[in-house]
Amino acid sequence: MRYYFLGILLVALDQITKAAVRANMFVGESIPVIGEFFQLTHVENSGAAFSILSGQRMLLVVVPVIGIAFALWYFHRHKGDHWTLYCSWSLIIAGGVGNLIDRLAFGTVTDMFDFSIFPPVFNVADIGVTTGCALFILYVLMGDRWKKKKNTNFA
């Protein structure tokens, strides 16, 4: 249940930050937060990561819907696994839902976090997907060890 809460919280935070940016900034406007190192920059992205597939709205809606459905299936199919699996899929699903909401409602995804050392501008949903993927990789690499350790602790 807490993983559903995590997902709902991420989607809410994502939508709140995007709405605030859309309401208070013009597209292309930047507000320095930490000099030129970190700025809030209002970008509307009609593509996927790094603006690839720009203008392919149908593809960018259908593929995430399929991915989210698969992730939900996988999430429920692997009950009893390590917390990193549930946390990773919650973040990935929530990030996908957050960006999908934008695509369906506005035709583009609102991005705002702009670091000078990292070229793409991104949003809270992107942070969720990236963090979720990193956690899932950690689970794939370490999950069997964690499961064995968990089973030996209670034997």
Q: Which residues are catalytically annotated?
A: 111, 126
Six-digit token string for 51: 């603006």
CB 95 within 8 A of CB 18: no
Other beta carbons within 10 angstroms of residue 145's beta carbon come to 10
Residue 89: C-alpha distances to residues 11, 41, 94 (Å): 13, 28, 8
CB 86 within 8 A of CB 3: yes
Tokens 């030996």 belong to which residue?
Answer: 152
- List strand residue ranges (DSSP E) for the chain, in order: 30-34, 38-45, 109-115, 118-122
Token pair recorded at residue 136: 């899932």
**Rg of the chain over all Cα atoms, to the nearest angstrom:** 18
